């Protein structure tokens, strides 16, 4: 069996080293699937690597049903932190935490392919502690060290369970913060955003343009490059 016939040893959904090299050279980052800490780590690392190479624009392609809000925050903050301009392109569907990442880019840099659907719905954004994921060896080691610390810190009295009302309060604070972000990103009033995100608020690409979420619908990468010259 020659090298071309050998099966890949990469985990499913993982970009191979060769493909990653091509993506880095093309200055492209792909955020596809449920947003969790693993995806956020990879996306943020790629963004910072590209930012360290030069200040040329970075292209982020998003198709996501949403996920863990703090993981979305991590990518959102990274996009706004780095120096290069970040151009986002949506495809498939962009929902909840995916939409949060999408609006991290300046409005004039937010593009959508024609068949994309958007969903603003805060109930689909998962607070910390409610997201499941595959635990890595590093994660397990960190969790065990933390458990040992907690055990030694509470020898006399174990910590009280999280109060339900406190959890609800923190969730409401999170939703209010995200609503403010979407209001600022779209130009809609905070009252309208709050009302719209209280239920399944679906938008086509055309409706997302009218709403202020999307700058322009495109069908080809050439349309972006011609405008950014």
* Residues in Cβ contact with 219 at an 8 Å cutoff, skipping those fewer than 6 apart: 113, 114
* pLDDT mean over 140-148: 57
| Catalytic-residue membership of 121 | yes
Mean pLDDT, rounded, of the chain: 83
Please tell me which residue in 121, 153, 167, 204 is annotated as part of the active site. 121
Q: Which has more pLDDT, 12 or 144?
A: 144
Domain locations in the chain?
12-223
- Chain position carrying tokens 């779209």: 186
- State residue 168's pLDDT score: 79
- Tell me what pLDDT residue 6 has: 46
**In sequence order, what are the beta bridge partners of 64?**
94
Confidence of residue 163 (pLDDT cuts 50, 70, 90): low
Of 112, 111, 54, 46, nearest to 79 by C-alpha is 46
Among 90, 96, 112, 215, the active-site one is: 96
d(CA 181, CA 74): 14
> CATH classification of 12-223, choosing from 3.90.226.10, 3.40.720.10, 1.25.40.10, 3.30.70.1230?
3.90.226.10
Q: Which two tokens stand for residue 124?
A: 């689909």
pLDDT one-digit tens code per residue, 181-212: 999 999 999 999 999 999 999 999 999 999 99
83-132: pLDDT as tens digits: 999 999 999 999 999 999 999 999 999 999 999 999 998 754 555 554 44
Q: With pLDDT > 70 as the criterion, what percentage of the chain qualifies?
A: 73
pTM of the predicted protein model: 0.76
Report how far residue 129's alpha carbon sits from residue 101's, in angstroms, rounded to the nearest whole number.
20
Other C-beta atoms closer than 10 Å to the C-beta of 2 total 5
**pLDDT above 60 (res 225):** yes
pLDDT at 172: 85
- Known catalytic residue: 199? no
Q: What are phi and psi of 30, to 5 degrees?
A: -115, 120
If pLDDT is split at 50, 70 and 90, which confidence band does 48 have?
very high
The DSSP bridge pattern shows strands 86-95 and 58-64 to be parallel
> What percentage of the chain carries pLDDT values higher than 90?
60
């Amino acid at each position: 069996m020659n090298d071309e016939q050998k099966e890949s040893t990469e985990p499913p959904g993982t970009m191979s080293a060769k493909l990653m090299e091509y993506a880095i050279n093309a200055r492209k980052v792909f955020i596809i699937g449920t947003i969790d800490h693993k995806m956020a780590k990879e996306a943020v690392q790629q963004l910072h690597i590209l930012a360290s190479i030069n200040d040329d624009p970075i292209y982020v392609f998003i198709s996501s049903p949403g996920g863990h809000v703090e993981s979305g925050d991590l990518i959102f903050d990274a996009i706004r932190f780095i120096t290069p301009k970040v151009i986002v392109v949506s495809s498939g569907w962009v929902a909840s935490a995916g939409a949060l990442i999408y609006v991290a880019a300046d409005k004039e840099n937010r593009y959508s392919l024609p068949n994309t659907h958007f969903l603003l719905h805060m109930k689909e954004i998962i607070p910390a502690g409610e997201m499941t994921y595959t635990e890595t060896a590093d994660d397990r080691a960190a969790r065990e060290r933390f458990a040992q610390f907690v055990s030694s810190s509470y020898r006399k009295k174990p910590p009280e369970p999280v109060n339900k009302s406190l959890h609800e309060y923190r969730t409401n604070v999170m939703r209010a913060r995200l609503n403010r972000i979407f209001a600022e990103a779209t130009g809609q009033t905070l009252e309208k955003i709050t009302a719209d995100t209280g239920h399944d608020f679906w938008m086509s690409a055309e409706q997302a343009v009218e709403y202020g979420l999307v700058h322009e619908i495109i069908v080809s990468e050439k349309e972006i490059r011609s405008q950014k010259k």
